[in-house]
Every structure is written in structure tokens, then in C-alpha cells.
A and B are shown apart, each in its own frame.
Chain A
Amino acid sequence: MSSAVTITAPSVKHILLDSLVVIKIVKHVDSELHAGISEVSGDACAGVLTGLVFLDDSRLEITNCFPTVRNEPVIDDDANAAQQYEEQKQQEMLDMLRKFRTMNIDYEIVGFYQSHQFGAGFSHDLVESMFDYQAMGPENVVLIYDPIKTRQGQLSLRAWRLSTAALDLASKNDWRPELVKAAGLTYQNMFEELPIIIKSSYLNNVLMSELALSKSYSSDKYSTRHFDLGSKKSLEKSVRAMMANVDELNKSIQSLTKYTIDKQRHDNMVFSLTQKRQQENESRQARGDPLLPMDDIKRIKAPQLQTRNGLLDELLASFDTNALADFSKTVTSENITKLFIAEAVAEDKVMGTKDRTLSSVSSTR
């Protein structure tokens, strides 16, 4: 990452997503999730998005995508092999793009997609690759797909990009608290979300509206499924993930506290020393002696924040926690609503079973 990269503000305001892309992503992630590959290899499913930018109406059209090769577990930690592998991966991607071109499909890379549970997988690596992409083309975005929510019946795709301020910091790869503060960066404005419009074919649209109109297909037999409280497991998972994040946050906050204190002390010291030196210099000037240099004071080392990436980790952890909390909130509120409905329904049917429902309430929370 060189600081020579010029950062141009993105002009795209919303994203037009082809339904083909949606289907392809869902298919890719779901099949991998089924096979449990992602759990084995330990990293997210990812792929490259292609499409084109419409600068006129500030819209990004994503028309196609393809998955990238999964990282093979490097058995012998041979750096050479890893590098070779990386080259191979690159080659494959280029091949794919070439084929797209020959098939007259949009072959301009406009971003990449990754799958993360609960949509919360913002890691240092992700930020780095986002920066890479966005440095390549300012309109590039990342699509984060949440397989869990999709499984529960709600398609979850969100488009993100780094905000200009974050991009600026990332280009320097310097996340010192002062700089972050100066940039006014918080976990909320670090990433920008773009609205997605899924574009289906007209035929499809027609089919959908017909289905919506005809009573026979909005069937009764699926209605009970909406009362399913099967989100318990995923809720557990999200709470666990949240705990990990909170731990992380705690740690970074601790170091931040320490840093602030040290910094304060350091500043005070430097200040008092400079003042003393200045006074001395003034008196020296009066006497006509040569002035003492300030170099040694400047040379006193300022304290360092004891984390690797400055405040970046903290920001990411906050962001993730936020995403997880959002998920939990929606799931729980949905569940509560369902329970109330179920209770009402049950009361209607059998009067005496109230106890059991109550107990189930307590168990799902």
C-alpha cells in the first residue's frame, strides 16, 4: 500500500444487482456451507463481481460474478508454494475475465463478495482488500452475504465500501488514535452502505406479481413455519461471537486507556521541560550566551498504543458487534412477536396450556 494512491471520491449512489448475481452467490455459498468446506478451510467464500458503472445516474450495475478459488490449506509452510499458488489464483481470475470478454459479458471488475455469518466479518484483511479494490477503481464495492439469515428465509445482501476518510487512513496504514480522531472516523461512518436494487427480468416480475395475486399459492400450510422459533441456535452463535468481539473491545479499550494516560503524562512532561528550557533560554539570551537546543526534548519518545493496527481493530470490533447486535435484536423481537401471536392462538384453542407457552418463552430467550 503506497501512499501515492490518489483517492477519488466515489460517485455511485446505488447498486443495481442482477438477479443472476444473487442466485449465483447464494448457490455458491450455500453449496459450500452444506459441504462444510468453509468450516474446514476457515475462511469465507468469496468471489469477484463484474459489471459496469453508470456515472450519469450514479449507479453501479453488477451484472455477473464468479467465485474465486478457495485457499488451499498450505501443508508445508513453503513460502514459495504459497506464492506460486497465489499466482495461479490470479491467473485463473484473469482467464475467467478473458472468457467473459469473449462471451460478451461485462468483464470490468466492480468489487467482490464474501459471505459472513450475521454479516459481521469485518476483519483487517477485509479492510485491506477493500482498500486494494477501491484504489483500483473508486466505485468498487463489497457485497456481504449472510447465509444464516438467508436460510431463515430472508435474503441478506449488503453492499459496503470504505468511506473516504477511512480510505485515507488505510492508504497510510496508520490508525493512530489522533489521526482517527482528526478524521472524525467512528465505526458508524467507517463503512458506507449502498442501497441495492435487485433487477429481475420482466418475465420474472410478472410471475411474481401473479403469484402474489393468486390466493392458492400464498398457502396456509407454510404459515405455521413463520412461528418457528428455530433461531435459538443462531442466536447462541451470535451471542458467542458478540462476546468474542466485546472481549476484543475490552482489550483495546484497556490499551487505549493506558495510552491516554501515558500520553497525558508525556505531554505534561514535554510541556514542562520546554517551558523550563525556554525560560533558561530567555535568561541566556539576556546574558548573551548561546541558546540551548530543544532537540533532546523533542527526542523523548512518545508512548505507543499497544495494539497492532492502532484503532482499526477497535473500529472493526465495534462494527461487528453492531451488526451482531442488530441481528440479535431483529431475531429476538421477531421471536417475541411470534410468541405473542402463538400465545394468542393457543389461548383461543386450549385455555389450560398457558403455562407451557410461558415456559417456552423463557427457554428461547
Chain B
Amino acid sequence: MSRFFRAKGDSDSETESSEDEVEDQKVNKSAKFRDDLDFMAGPEDDVKRVVRAQKDKKFDELKSIIKQNRDAKSNKDLNRLLNGFDSLAKAFKSSKNVFQQQNVTIPRFYIRSLVEVEDYVNNLWEDKEAKAALSKNNAKALPVIRQRLKKYVKDEDLGKLIADYRASPDEDGYETPEDEDDDDFEEIPEAKTEKSPGKQADKAADSDSDSDSDDGDSSNWSSEPDTNSSDDEDSVTKMEQLRRYFLKKEFREDSKDDKKGDKRKRVIKVKEVVEDDDDDSWTPVSREKSVVHFDPKEEVTHDVMIKKLNEVMSARGKRTTDRNQHVANLQKLLEVSEEKNLGLGINVKISFCIISALFELNAKISDFMEYETFMKTLQTVNRLLDLLIETDKVKLSVTYAEEDENLKDDTQEYRIQGSILIAVQRLDGELAKILQNADCHSNDYIEKLKAEKDMCQLIEKAEGYVELRGHLKIFDEHEVCKVYMMRIEHTYYKYQDQNEKEVGKTMDYLCNKIYSLDKEKRLRQRAMLCHVYWLAVHDQWHRARDLLLMSHMQAIVDHSDVDTQILYNRTICQLGLCAFRHGFIREAHQGLSEIQNTQRAKELLAQAVGTRQHEKTAEQEKIDRSRQVPYHMHINVELMECVYLICSMLLEIPHMASCEFEMRRRMLSRSFHYQLKQSEKASLTGPPENTREHVVAASKAMLNGDWKKCKDYIVNDKMNQKVWNLFHNAETVKGMVVRRIQEESLRTYLLTFSTVYTTVNLKKLADLFELSKKDVHSIISKMIIQEELSATLDEPTDCLIMHRVEPSRLQMLALNLSDKLQTLAENNEQILEPRTGRGGYQGPGSWFPGRNERQGDKQKGSGGFQGERRGGQGQDGKRGNWGSQGGQQRRHPQKQRAF
């Protein structure tokens, strides 16, 4: 302890505790920083101002510690008091330099606090009873603090001051009035305003020649917020003071503005008189914290402008640069250049800089742009693009190096480095981000969505520009592809009723462009998927299916990036819906089951972030979020689920009826069975509420062969509203569904009740299911051919004659038992000879659950559009990756296999 104390007494504080060091360093640093400033800016009043702030800071620091000490005193917490005293001494020591520098005497409140502590400790020391009542810790601390206090007073020669204070003590509870500080502040602005014109002049004089000084200048201007941030940790009172400080300043600036206005008037007068000497007019600008001003004596030429531009641009990306200011500066430059007719080259260059500056308004990539900024950027880009389209003298390309740029020579064509296309692309990305972050159920979203139209126009314009200037070889091929791709991405999900042909042609054209231009596969794949999506939306089922099949997308999609996988999922879903509209139930089921069977359809379609956040880092989640599809592009998941369930019903119910006795049923659709089971479990089944319940109720009706009830469940007002009206050709789809319900109900009926009949009249069946006799005949024939129904058709009597070959229940049971015993025997053998390679590699498809099932389907069904699917097994796992549940999904099948 004493060593520590001695260290305190030393003039250099190197041996102090690390915390202390940090504090000191900070102080030193800030002091140094200020010194630098002094060196740069010169004027003496700046120093004064800065040190004032420092003094106040120190005061506040001390005061807060004193306040803590007081608290400790009132709580009789001597330990805390001891600590507080130490830190007070420390803080005071570090402030002493500042005080000395500034000729401030040791503050009275400090002395007062010392006296208070001393009194308190001495009283306690004298008061035996109170001393006895102290806790053990506190009792220990008491002598220490007493000793230390004595020593401190002696060491620091404070004795005299304390004696002085004791001679004329402040009244109890007295605190240093706050306005003391305020008075100080009052002084500053005066000093400053007095001084500012001179400063201005100074700066104006050397700013042109010395870019460094500009730097320093700008940092000087921003030094206030800087100080702010550096003492964030300071107490709230400090903040309050700061606030007041700024309030004052605002007021101050007002007055300054007035002055400025005066001056500006004067300047304008001057301008009228001397035409070419208008540099003065830039002086006021510089007063507005701007660096954009030109030497009054010098004419603004290309070189000067370029230099200036470089100057401004050099501030780009620096931490001290105020980004908004940066943009404003550039805009000023643009104005000047336009005013001075410096030529298109410069204009384009500056515009381009503005655009990139606008993009950089946000520090973080993940943050989205302000909508207003976005619109501003959009306009700027639009203007630039117009300019570029108008004239062919300007060439903007990424292929130029910076040295090759030609900004001034208007005899040649202008060459500028940069790419408008990339700007457009970036803008597109920003729009997506804005939409992602907007509340999709608010009007705000709709407002923001309006920008999408502008964006489309801009993209179209960009495309036009590309085609106009394509021969000049100024575009990177990739860029061009991107433009087409953007256009596609803004078109593919929109359903157009009227000029479908036209849009279709555009779509074809765009996609073909990409197919021919794109060298790397990614864009081609994406374009293709979009194309398929578009075709599916527009009911061109066969083309869509063929295109998808030709692409072999199924095999490669698991090797592509996540965004493409999402697009693929979307496409598959849309294709499924398209198949459903066309009445291809099996295909629709296959398409939709990819997504629907996973229980996280929304996640796979990137329409919601997974609810299960386990083991997901914040970063991952952010990435996931950034991948979300904007709301207006969403596929209606409820509709999709309903369609999927209806498809499952139409396929599964007859299937269930046909293998009623089989114990181990093959399930076509797991989620459908799950729903069925859920409804069975429910003790009370009320009338269906949501679409899901409707389908389940319909399924139950169908299982009983009651097609009318089934139909009523599927087609009614509620379902119309929720499902059917969402199709553009609702009536035809409904008709198709009803027809399929009739057919499948007939099949189910025959399978379920075949045991009851020996013969059935076809006419009766036709009446019962309101189908034509011909249809009934064909359905039954098909069933007989597929060996689902053992019966014969008797033509003369128009009867169906049932054959009795079904095994009795006991026989079924016995068969099942033998099955089970076989597995038991197999399992038994395994005990004797355990397969050690259980976790090992067992061929590519062995862990994939749906594979056998799907293969079975393929053999049985009409080679659906996924018949070719070879890489299927890899896919689920892979695609699961982006939901971070791939592992789980993969684990599940293994479990299944085990039982």
C-alpha cells in the first residue's frame, strides 16, 4: 500500500496500476491530439477552448468521485470510501497538470471534500462506540484511510489550503454552482466569433496550396463530436452539460449565419462588378464546413477541378469524414463544373463519385439505405444514365485504368473509369434490402414498393444503354449479363394477364441473351430457373417442365450457392402449382412434397427465418435475414400447403383404401398422414376452420366414399376465399378438382366396399358418383389392369363381378406376423455378428429416406418430372444447410432405418 502511495507521490506515474495508466494515456493522447491541432491551426483561442473542455472534464470526474464518496460516507461504507479516496487522489493528480497549464487554482470543492472526509474519519476515530459498531472490514479500513489522508495532505502541500478552508467553510450541503461552468462557456463563443473571420481568412489563404491543412481542418471541425465519443464513459451530468453546450452553440451559429448572410450579400455585389473574379463567392461555402472552395485568383480549369476532386475524394472512407458532408461537397463540385462548362467528362466523373458516395452513406453493408437516400441515388443514377445515353462521347468502363482517364480533352472521347451498370446493380440490391427491412403489412411497404417500378424502368434503360453502346466494347461481359439478369429477376415472378405474349417474348429474349453470353454457369442457371418460374406462373406447364428437365438442375442444384437453391425451391413450388392447375396431380404432389414434407417450407423458400435458432450465431442469422425474399415476391405458403394436401388426398386415400390390411403401409406423404393422425387424436372434431382442417375432413369423407361431402369440404365459400380465388383460372381449377374427387372417390369406394358386393351395376355407380358410364368403365378397367381390383366386367349385363380372393383377416395377420418374425430373426443375427461399419459409407444413397419410396413411385407412376433425379439424395441435406438443420434431417433417416 505504501509503495503504491509513494508511487503516487512521484512525478512520473509509470508504476501505477494499469487502469490508471490507461486513464493517463488517454489524457495524454487527447492532449497530444490537441497539441497537433494547435500546431495546425495556429490561433491561440482554439487552445483555450480545448483546454476549457478538458478542465471541465476533469472537474466532472472529480465531482463524480466526490459524490460517490459522499454516498459511501452516508452508508458508513469505509471500504468504498477508501477506494473512492484513492481514485480521487489519482484523478486529482492527473488533473493537476491541466490545472497548472491553465492557471486554475486547486478547486475549492476538492478541498472541501477532503476536509469533509477528514472530519468524518476523525469523528469516527474519536467516537469509540461508533467504531465498535463497525463491521470487521470497515474497522480495518478506518485506520488505513485516516493514515493515508494525513499523509496525502502533507505530501501534496494542501495543508494551507485546508486551513484556509476551515477558516471560512462553506455552509453544509453547499455545492459548486453549475452556472460557474456556464459562465465559462458563455465566454467561448464570444471569443470564437470574434476570431472566426480571421481564421477564415487564414484558411482561405493556404487551403488551396496545402491539402494537408484541409485534412487537419476537417478533423478540426469534427473535433467536437470526437471529444464527445472519447468521454462517453463519463457520467450523465457531463452529458447534460454537453447538451447545454450544444444548445448554446446552435444559438451562436445562428448569429454567425446572420453575419454570413451579410457577407454573402457583399460578395454577390462584388461578383456583379468583377465577372471573372468570383472565387470569393466560394468563401461562404467554406464557412459551412466545406472544403470546396477555389482560390480566388486562380481560374477554375480542368486541372484545378480534378485536383480538387481528388482532394475531396481522398477524404472518402476516412473515419473522421462526415459522409453527408462528403456528398454535399461533391454536389458543390458538380455545380461548379456545370457552371464552368468543364465538359461532360468531369461531370460524369463527379456524378459517378456522388453515386458511390451516396452508396457509402451507410457504413455497414448489412444496413439498408434510407428510402430518401435511395430515391436520391436512383435519380442521380437515372440522370447519369440519361446523360450517357444522350451522348456517345463519354465512355464509362471498368476496363480503363485510372491513368488512362480522359476527363478534359474534349477533342477526343472522354474515358472514365467506372461502371454505371454496377451502380444500377448495387441500387437494385439496396432496394431489395429496403424492402426486406420494411414492415410488409404496412402502407409504408406499398410506398416503398413504388420504387420498384422506377427501378424496373431504370434497369430497362440500362439495358437499352447496353444495347446502344454494346458495340463499343466498353462493358464487361459479366456486367452485361447482370443487367439482363436484373431485368429477368424483376419480371419472372409477375403474372401478366394481358400482354402475356409480349412479356413472354421479352423473357425468352433475355434468357437467350444470358444463355449465349454467360460464361460461368451461375447466371445461366438462375436465368433458366427464372424462366421456368415464369413459364410455370403463366401456365405453360409442358415447356416449363421440359426446360427444367433439360437443364438437369436437380442434379447440380446442391452444388450451387444458397441463393440459387432458394430460387430453385421457389421454382419447384411454382411448377408444382402449375401442374396442379393443369390437373397433373401426381406431378404436383411430387413437386410440392420436396418443400412441404420438410415442415419448414417457409424457411426453404426464404420467406421466414427459421424459428429454431439453436446454434445459430448472430452472424449466420444476419446472413439468413439478408437472403429473405421480399414480401411482394412471396409464394403463398398456405395455398401451397392446401394444394399439396389436396394432391396428397387424391393420391393417398385410394392408396390407403387399397392396402387397408397391410400393416406396414407405404406412405406417399408423411405430412398428410401426420395431419390425418392429428385429427384422429382430437377428442372432439368440430367443423373445419382452416384450410388444413377442411382437407382433412374432406379426406375422411372420401375414405367413406362420400364424394359429395368431400366436394363440399373442398369447394365452399371459405375455401374459395382462401384458396381458389387465388388462382387466376379459379373456375377451371375447381372443376378439375371436383372431377378428380369424383374419380378418386369412386376408386376408394370400390376398394373399400368390394367385399360387400358380388356384382355392381355400372349404371348405379355412374349415378352414385355422377360420372358418365364411360368414365366409370374406364376407371374400373384401369383398376383391373393395375391389379388393384380383382373383378371382371360383364359387358352384356353392364355389371362388375367381384372376385373373392382376399385373404381372411387371420391370414393377413399371420402373414404380418411372419414378416415381423423375419425381421426379428435378422435382428437376432445382428447380435451375433454386429455390423461394425454402421456409421461408415454404405454407398451413396443409403441414408436417404425418400429414395426407395421415390423410386417406387417412379416405377409405378407416370415418370414425373423428377424421374431423372439422380442427385436427389444429396440435396435435402445440402439444402438443409442453409437452415442449419441439414444435420438433423440427415440424422433422422438413420433412425428410421434402425427400426
Contact = CB atoms under 8 A, between A and B. Distances in A.
Do A and B interact with each other, yes or no? yes
B838 to A, nearest CB: 7
Contact of B808 (A243, A250, A258, A363): A363
A257 B831 contact: yes
Interface stretch (A160-168, A204-212, A231-239): A231-239
Interface in A238-260: 239-240, 242-243, 246-247, 249-251, 253-254, 256-258, 260
Interface stretch (B349-357, B427-435, B783-791, B809-817): B809-817
Given A236-B809, A239-B814, A243-B813, A254 B898 contact: yes
Contacts of B821: 246
Interface string B823-854: 11001101100101010000000000000000
Interface size range on B against A = 20 to 34
A362 to B, nearest CB: 8
Contacts of A240: 813
A306 B808 CA distance: 38
Contacts of A365: 810-811, 814
B823 A250 contact: yes
A309 interface: no
B824 A249 contact: yes
Contacts of B814: 239, 365
Contacts of B813: 236, 239-240, 243
Of the candidates A235, A240, A257, the one having the most CB atoms from chain B within 10 angstroms of its own CB is A257
B836 A261 contact: yes
A364 B808 CA distance: 9
Contacts of A247: 820
Nearest to A243: B817
Nearest to A250: B824
B834 A232 contact: no
Nearest to B834: A261
B831 A242 contact: no
Contacts of A246: 817, 820-821, 824
Contacts of A264: 834
A254 B826 CA distance: 10
A232 B810 contact: yes
Contacts of B834: 257, 260-261, 264
B816 A243 contact: yes
B810 A235 contact: yes
Interface residues of A, number: 23
A257 B827 CA distance: 8
A144 B191 CA distance: 111
A243 B820 contact: yes
Contacts of B823: 250
Contacts of B817: 239, 242-243, 246
B820 A261 contact: no
B898 to A, nearest CB: 6
Contacts of A239: 810, 813-814, 817
Nearest to B835: A261
B899 interface: yes
Nearest to A251: B899
Nearest to B823: A250
Contact of B830 (A235, A243, A257): A257
Contacts of A257: 827, 830-831, 834
Contact of B828 (A253, A260, A363): A253
Contacts of A249: 824
Interface in B466-499: none
A254 B899 contact: yes
A26 B175 CA distance: 102
Nearest to B811: A365
Contacts of B820: 243, 246-247, 250
Contacts of A254: 827, 898-899
A73 to B, nearest CB: 18
Contacts of B828: 253
Given A239-B814, A261-B838, A365-B811, 6 more contacts: A240-B813, A242-B817, A246-B824, A247-B820, A250-B824, A364-B810
Interface of B: 808-811, 813-814, 816-817, 820-821, 823-824, 827-828, 830-831, 834, 836, 838, 898-899
The 10 A-B pairs at the shortest CB distance, nearest first, are namely: A253-B827, A239-B813, A246-B820, A261-B834, A257-B830, A236-B810, A243-B817, A257-B831, A250-B824, A363-B808
Interface of A: 232, 235-236, 239-240, 242-243, 246-247, 249-251, 253-254, 256-258, 260-261, 264, 363-365
15 contacts: A232-B810, A235-B810, A236-B810, A242-B817, A247-B820, A249-B824, A250-B823, A253-B827, A253-B831, A254-B899, A257-B827, A257-B831, A257-B834, A261-B836, A264-B834
